[in-house]
Structure 1
């Protein structure tokens, strides 16, 4: 269900990571979600069953923080104003918190599907 990614390829090659890091930071800043105090995983749509299950697995504090960020961003959007620069999400704070849970749930579903289709062969 998750999108294909080149991240493992890039992370294995330090020279490529150092080359693409400034571009990635520029793109994330240009997207504008950090100016609203959001993190990248806050932008993942909740309409997917896997994402809904991942949200249920979030620790209570992380879930509260997520809801707070979303409500604050919605208020900024309604008033057509950005947060003060001191409240913007910094790149070191923008770490994935939902992506690992989604990957874990997808791996569990894949394993469950493999176990459901398991056939027993009896040797004589």
Structure 2
């Protein structure tokens, strides 16, 4: 059973990709999180168990990444409290804004889905 997602539809269409890529870059720039030193994955809410497990795995794989994340969040909080942006040379560039947490989130989500599928398996009796 294959499901077609909007993401795969856009990625497979050169026309949609060429139209939406500049729009997405402009939106990311206008969002303002880079101007206070955050990366996109720093915005992911930590309250869900899925993200908590992903952060735990990231800490095991790269302890420095967890420290850097906490530092970026504290700097952003300070910028928010003082109602100021960082100096332009300290902004996160588009090339630095990589998805460091998303692979772990995807991995945990796939494992959870697989576990749920096995937990809810129906066994039919043979006649």
Give the TM-score normalised by the residue count of structure 1. Answer: 0.86
Gaps of 5+ in 2: none
Check if 1:105 corresponds to 2:95. Answer: no
| CA RMSD of superposed structures (Å) | 1.8
How far apart are the structure 2 equivalents of 1:20 and 1:122?
51
How far apart are the structure 1 equivalents of 2:120 and 2:14?
41
How far apart are the structure 2 equivalents of 1:106 and 1:26?
29
How far apart are the structure 1 equivalents of 2:95 and 2:13?
21
CA apart distance, 1:6:
2.3
How far apart are the structure 2 equivalents of 1:6 and 1:42?
24
Give the TM-score normalised by the residue count of structure 2. Answer: 0.84
> What is the count of residue pairs matched by the alignment?
120
Gaps of 5+ in 1: none
